[in-house]
A and B are shown apart, each in its own frame.
Chain A
Amino acid sequence: MPYVIVLVVLAVAILVITGPLRAGRGREELDERATRRAELEAARDAKYHEIRDAELDLRTGKLSDEDYQAVDRALRAEAIEIMHALDQVQSEPAPVASGG
């Protein structure tokens, strides 16, 4: 019985580990696109957080209007850049996954 457990563990391990190597190249391209999108979404969310943070600083009296305008402008410009990049990724034609 103990050795059956070992064999089962080994078989499952090999199946799980070699799974991606058995998948097709199309899957890899799909993954790449999804990864790029996820990265941009994360960057966008982080930027939103910074925008909200700056505004909270203004409203709690820690930032002057002048400083806030400068910070906010820069952050929003960066956010728009990220969103443009995100649009670009989303508008790219999706690769077709192939097996094997």
Chain B
Amino acid sequence: MAAVGRLLLIFALITTLYGIGASLYGARRGPRAWVESGRRAMYVLWGMAALAFVILDVAFVTSNFSYDVVARGSSTTTPTFYRVAAIWSTQQGSLLLWLLLLSGWSSLALFLTRRRVREIAPYAQAVLFALTAFFSGLLVFFANPFATTATPPAEGAGLDPLLRHTTMMIHPPMLYSGYTLMMVPFAFAVGALISGRLGAEWIQVTRRFALAAWLCLGFGILLGARWSYTELGWGGYWAWDPVENAALMPWLCVTAFIHSIMIQEKRGMLKVWNASLVLAAGSLAVIGTFLVRSGILSSIHAFVSDPTLNISFVALISVMVFGSIGLVTWRRDRLRSEAHLDSLISREAVFLFQNLVLIALTAVIFWITFFPLISQAITGTEVSVGPPAFRPFVVPLALIVVVLSGIGPIIAWRRVTVAKLRRSFALPVAATALMLAALLIVPGVVDHKLALAMFCAGTFVVCTVVQEFVRGVRARRAMTSEPPPIALAALVRRNRRRYGGYIVHAGVAVALVGVAASTSFQHSRTATIAPGQSVRLDGYTIRYVRPTASATAEKISLGAILNVSSGRSHVATLHTSYGLYPSQDPTQPIGRFFDGSSESRVGLKSGPLQDIWTVINPNVGPLQGLINQGDARFSRFLNDALSMPAAQRTQALNELYALRDAAIRGLAQRFVSHPWAATFLIIISPLVTWLWAGAIIAALGGLLALWPLPPRRRRLGRSRPQGEAEQAAPAPADLRARELV
């Protein structure tokens, strides 16, 4: 089936080239049939990519090591659950996933716009085909996932243990979905610029794709953070790693875009800004993909560097960036705003300011992320930057964004009177002042001024959102006399974009309060203790109760049970473990089982107010003497067995391997029977749960905003209840008579 997969990729490449030609011919020469034929070519491309993906994934699931990528990225000891996902742990598999997702989202976008934006769609179609041509070209010429070997190994290298985590099943597809969804508004923006149709139409047809990209990227980032927190063993969820930043930058750009397009839709303003933003977000999405697979910046998340791919990606990014700049410059006359800011105290002014801050944030992250590369290019010396380089810039800017996300919902378009301003701000400001007063009483809080500011900003945002819901419900009830829950449901259902957005604001504020609290008020300690011994941290006593050990074909796991108590009361029992995966080193027949990759399983007690987190480093040093003896003896016995006549050799080898497995189990069990001191990292962080909860709230808000209205709701229906129609639009007689009631 490898040959079929390879042929499918070649057909896919030919299809993309046909798609570019048909779309451009249809756009330039007129016959729509060519454009439609091109659109159908995208559906076909998706089908081919899906079939190729299935063929490769079946090879992973069945451990078909004749495929090079399967031999490198999986093994028979890898659990089936992870074998399904191992496909995207390899360079080739992840590029195929990119092609699959990009062609899938492109097909959906082209299907949904088949009767819209006629002048723009053919060019957008050609751009989407060009991007898919790039990825299918990579798969055909430089990163063939269907390369096979005539002499497959008996066992594969296995999936990186760090990737054996549930979230890793979803995290990469989510990020790739975000990146590929971003290509849709990018392509339509290019189409709008080429065709000169620069009104709000291209925004209306791609807004949902931008929102979906935001949602998928955000969810992907969240899953990555959760993986980091529970798997990497350093106790944090965000390390400002280049690959993490690569996902964050387009997410920030899309966040700005989602807000600024409202100004273009409502006021016909910011056309240059919106086009530039979406082109930047699209380019950043490809830069993010490049960063992950180039290895040009050191990251634990990156693939091994491949110079051929690097050159190809740099070429694509250059075309995207310089092409975008060229198009915006070419169309600058048609991109003039149709209106001007009426007042600096208006929603559009707030959105504009928020956009500027978000872009400043993106620029700061971009500069610091790429600084090691820039520094090396200029001075020849490599410098490394870590979280301290980001915080002084990112934290204040994030604070401003949060405050603005509270102001935006309660301020009107165009202009605001002082009386209305006072009415809108009175309650949220009073609640924030109360919160500030309460926090100032808490010892130690005043020492962390930025965290204190974030708590107040978060309070302000949540209050403004609650106030908006209350006012909306009141307004609806005034017209319909519905009970409050029904009025709330109807209000949200009929204004999903608005109220979904408000929920997102509240969720982000809650999440950032969690980030501020957990980073500013964290207590941590590293302690080396033996079973029975205890350490104290932040009022808790943590006792090492007993060690645990297990050995399977997949890994050796050494762990510990810890008891956490406060005073006389028991708080939690934690189990942490350290997994040791075998290496393929033939010179250490026993030692290789302790010498391969490793992973940590965190012992975690999560609560609404506090997380108690711990991880063990068992230190296998005390076993080294026995391991060395085992290596020497096993090698001797192995040589003896191999020199036996063939008839006896197999039995001798089987017995020897059984003895080896028993010896490894015995070595692992010594951690329990003859326990020694292990090192523990213990962290107590407040409000970490708020980060996850806030992110989930934001995701739900995003889903709500994204969810399409049922068809009958899209128009102001003829058959709706009386009150609802009134709320929808009291109208001049002619309009009301026709559609609104």
Contact = CB atoms under 8 A, between A and B. Distances in A.
A67 B412 CA distance: 10
A76 B116 contact: no
Interface string A28-64: 1001101101110011111010111101110111111
27 contacts: A6-B8, A9-B11, A19-B40, A20-B32, A21-B33, A28-B31, A28-B32, A28-B33, A39-B116, A39-B118, A44-B739, A48-B715, A50-B265, A52-B495, A55-B727, A55-B728, A55-B730, A57-B412, A57-B413, A62-B424, A63-B412, A67-B414, A67-B415, A76-B729, A76-B732, A79-B739, A80-B734
Interface of A: 2-3, 5-6, 9-10, 12-13, 16-21, 23, 28, 31-32, 34-35, 37-39, 42-46, 48, 50-53, 55-57, 59-64, 67, 71, 76, 79-80, 83
Interface stretch (B41-49, B60-68, B306-314, B580-588): B41-49
Given A6-B8, A56-B495, A51 B41 contact: no
Nearest to B727: A55
Contact of B478 (A35, A37, A59): A59
A39 B8 CA distance: 36
A45 B740 CA distance: 11
Nearest to B262: A53
Contacts of B118: 32, 35, 39
A51 B729 CA distance: 6
Contacts of B495: 52-53, 56
B204 A42 contact: yes
B468 interface: yes
Contacts of B410: 62
A10 B11 CA distance: 8
Nearest to B734: A80
A18 B130 CA distance: 20
Q: Interface size for chain B: under 10, 10 to 19, 20 to 34, or 35 or more residues?
A: 35 or more
Nearest to A2: B4
A28 B7 CA distance: 34
B115 A34 contact: yes
Given A21-B37, A35-B118, A59-B471, 14 more contacts: A19-B37, A20-B33, A37-B115, A42-B204, A42-B205, A46-B204, A48-B715, A52-B728, A53-B495, A55-B730, A56-B472, A56-B727, A57-B412, A71-B413
Contacts of B37: 17-21
A59 B40 CA distance: 47
A55 B118 CA distance: 32
B395 to A, nearest CB: 31
A4 B44 CA distance: 18
Interface string B402-423: 0000000011111111001001
Nearest to A10: B11
Nearest to A4: B4
A61 B735 contact: no
B460 interface: no
Contacts of B3: 2
Contacts of A2: 1, 3-4
Contacts of A32: 32, 118
A63 to B, nearest CB: 5
Nearest to B43: A16
B649 interface: no
A16 B732 CA distance: 48
A3 to B, nearest CB: 8
B677 to A, nearest CB: 59
B40 A20 contact: yes
Nearest to A22: B33
Nearest to B30: A28
Given A13-B15, A16-B43, A56 B498 contact: yes
Given A50-B266, A67-B412, A16 B32 contact: no
Contacts of A18: 37
